[in-house]
Amino acid sequence: MKTKSILIIAFILLMSKSVFSQTAFKVEVKGKGNPVLLFPGFGCTGEVWNETVAELSKNYECHIFTFAGFGNVPPIEAPWLSTIKDQVISYVKTKKLKNAVLIGHSLGGTLSLWLASEETTLFKKLILVDALPANAALMIPNYKGETLSYDNPQSKMMLAMDQKGFEAMNSQMTSYMCMNKEKQKTINEWINIADRKTYVYGYIDMLNLDLRKEISKIKIPVVILAATNPDLATVQNTYKAQYENLPSAKILYASKSAHFVMYDQPEWFIENVKSELK
């Protein structure tokens, strides 16, 4: 009897440690129904999904993530992205979320692809918002999956940049990524308060993730809501090349939209998300 009590106490302590060791993100849960996990893009908080959640929470249980180092979530040690991935898997299994749909924007979409290629039976469907399996291939000519070091000249420069310069850089970048000027201000506010080390090294983690071969393991439906800036032909060629090993992926293109599709084409976006969830 004493041995049994000791085992029960040990189990409770183990479970407590498992729950409290999930430091890679904060989750807010809204609504009731089948589970939907919403992952923001790099530098953004879960608030990027506010309008989406306002609609989806009427019929679904929405789990809204903000990753460590962004918003008010304390940073974690590197490797940042793989820790997030592992703890999302733990979160889903601990919460016993069955047939969850993953909705991810940009980095959040890439993370969704990583999760579904590693845990092939854990999720029901992916809805990706302007997301690619290999982000570095957009920026590095003839990219073959080379690993970038944390300790590179660009990273050193960004870590040393003063806050004014950092904010100016973000403002310029956001103007290309979102056509909605009011939402540009909100995005900048999120990025400007990001933990700088997470912003720099976490971005390297994202660039070092090349899933172009791994996505062939995904067996669940994948739907991509893609932006069309700078032009449709360029975007289509990019998606064709990146998703070559996942020919079943369904791609819908949002006209007159930059990277933040949910902000640039909100009605088109929510209609398609709701349709795909049904």
For 85, 114, 224, 231, 232, the CA distances from 98, given in Å and listed in that order, are: 18, 18, 22, 39, 37
- Bridge partners for 155 per DSSP: none
- Cα 267 to Cα 22, 44, 222: the distances in Å are 35, 21, 21
Q: Residue 35: what pLDDT? A: 98
Identify the CATH class of 17-277: alpha beta
Per-residue tens of pLDDT for the chain, all 278 residues = 444 444 444 444 444 344 446 899 999 999 999 999 999 999 999 999 999 999 999 999 999 999 999 999 999 999 999 999 999 999 999 999 999 999 999 999 999 999 999 999 999 999 999 999 999 999 888 888 889 999 999 999 999 999 999 999 999 999 999 999 999 999 999 999 999 999 999 999 999 999 999 999 999 999 999 999 989 999 999 999 999 999 999 999 999 999 999 999 999 999 999 999 99
Q: Is residue 264 within 8 Å of 258, Cβ to Cβ?
A: yes
- Nearest Cα to Cα of residue 225 among 268, 169, 172, 165: 268
